[in-house]
Amino acid sequence: EAGVTQFPSHSVIEKGQTVTLRCDPISGHDNLYWYRRVMGKEIKFLLHFVKESKQDESGMPNNRFLAERTGGTYSTLKVQPAELEDSGVYFCASSPRQGIGSGANVLTFGAGSRLTVL
Amino acid sequence: QQQVKQSPQSLIVQKGGISIINCAYENTAFDYFPWYQQFPGKGPALLIAIRPDVSEKKEGRFTISFNKSAKQFSLHIMDSQPGDSATYFCAARGNNFNKFYFGSGTKLNVKP
């Protein structure tokens, strides 16, 4: 089974530019999450999709961030325009649909996309 | 406001020793407490998890101790090995649609 795939693995952009991060979850996983870790700090929740619907986007920092999940499959996270404080590692994670089993408790993470804004 | 507080930030242990990482939380609605292990260049991966109705869970050399009244839980790695060197994150799940809150991570270095 393929894992969660994220790309690019590393992106270096200048302040004011736009970056789009992509996540391909495990096939069949309804839940898709975006998290961010700023250096040395906690892995912070950004938002949660259930299929193509945004279940919770309370962690999105501001309206410069836009997440989409086309057809309930892959997801993109766009930052426009990027600011210095957006630098960090962006993780995507997925989990199965919540049901009788405990599978929905287990988040499978991608390797992350490291964003550096200069 | 950080929902889960983790300490220490870094830890150096000799091979064969015991590694202990501590976490504390405030929200009594949290209902599931996993630990994740992350190696360089990889994403965090589930290591072991516990529910609040259990005080201890052991899987091989890894044990979670859970103190519900103190709102604290800890990871113990017995007979620590160099291969255990990684960053460890504690986490807690809120009861609304599987929202997870993570600690700030502990970088463990096990010296041979």
Q: How confident is the model at residue B73 (pLDDT cuts 50, 70, 90)?
A: very high
DSSP string, A15-56: TT--EEEEEE--TT--EEEEEEE-TTS-EEEEEEEETTEEEE
Chain A nearest-CA distance from B86, in A, is: 14
Of the candidates B34, B43, B91, which has its C-beta nearest A110's C-beta? B43
Predicted pLDDT of residue A61: 92
Give residues with Cβ within 8 angstroms of A42, minimum separation 6: B2, B4, B6, B89, B101, B102, B103, B104, B105
CA distance A98 to A91: 21
* Low-confidence stretches of chain A (pLDDT beneath 50): 100-101
Chain A nearest-CA distance from B9, in A, is: 8
Q: How far is CA A114 from the centre of its chain?
A: 11
In chain B, the percentage of residues whose pLDDT exceeds 70 is 97
pLDDT, tens digit, for every residue of B79-105?
Answer: 999 999 999 999 999 866 678 999 999
The verdict on B37 touching A (C-beta cutoff 8 Å) is no
Cβ distance B99 to A93 less than 8 Å, yes or no, reads: no
Predicted pLDDT of residue B98: 72
Output b/e per residue, A44-58; b: 16+ Cβ within 10 A. Answer: bbbbbbbeeeebbee
Give me the total of CB pairs closer than 8 Å, taking one residue from chain A and one from chain B. Answer: 64
Q: Considering only alpha carbons, which residue of chain B is nearest residue A106?
A: B46
